[in-house]
Amino acid sequence: MNAKIYVTLKTEVLDPQGDAVRRSLASLGFERVKAARVGKLIELKLDETDRTEAERAVRRMCEQLLANPVIEDFRFELEPSS
Amino acid sequence: MNAKIYVTLKTEVLDPQGDAVRRSLASLGFERVKAARVGKLIELKLDETDRTEAERAVRRMCEQLLANPVIEDFRFELEPSS
């Protein structure tokens, strides 16, 4: 299985990196960008063919390492390895 | 329009951050993770209702600021603001 994990800051958490992106875009002339948030995309290759097992493992990886539950949310997608 | 932009390292570019994630996961017992790559997810709110215009603008933002074309690929999705 391959996993794509999206880790984003919770809505109520300030995002200085996102604000810097918005300001940089504005200075390049992209003034119609009203907000920017920066998160992480983590792609994993798993040696696991069972979707339920893979889902359980990825959820635990997110909770234990990949996301900080205090300030971040996560979601993920699984697809069979090609 | 809202845009979700996914910036990933090109396949042939080494990813030390991804390797660190893989090793950390292995040390937590997730030894079935064979590879990890870390990219960025950038979410933008655009004051633009025309999809074609938004698409053109986001592509230029990626080329000019959000992705480094030497080492990174990008793709994006647009959806109407709710």
Sort B24 into a burial class: Cβ within 10 Å, 0-12 / 13-18 / 19+.
middle
Domains of chain B with CATH codes = 2-79 (3.30.1280.10)
What's the ipTM?
0.92
Nearest by CB to B64, which of A8, A28, A48?
A: A28
Residue range B53-61: mean pLDDT, rounded:
98
Nearest Cα of chain B lies from the Cα of A36 at a distance, in angstroms, of 5
Asked if A34's CB is within 8 angstroms of B61's CB, the reply is no
How high is the mean pLDDT of chain B?
Answer: 97
Q: Which two tokens stand for residue A72?
A: 């971040």
- Please state the pTM of the whole predicted model: 0.93
> Does residue B66 sit in helix, strand or coil?
helix
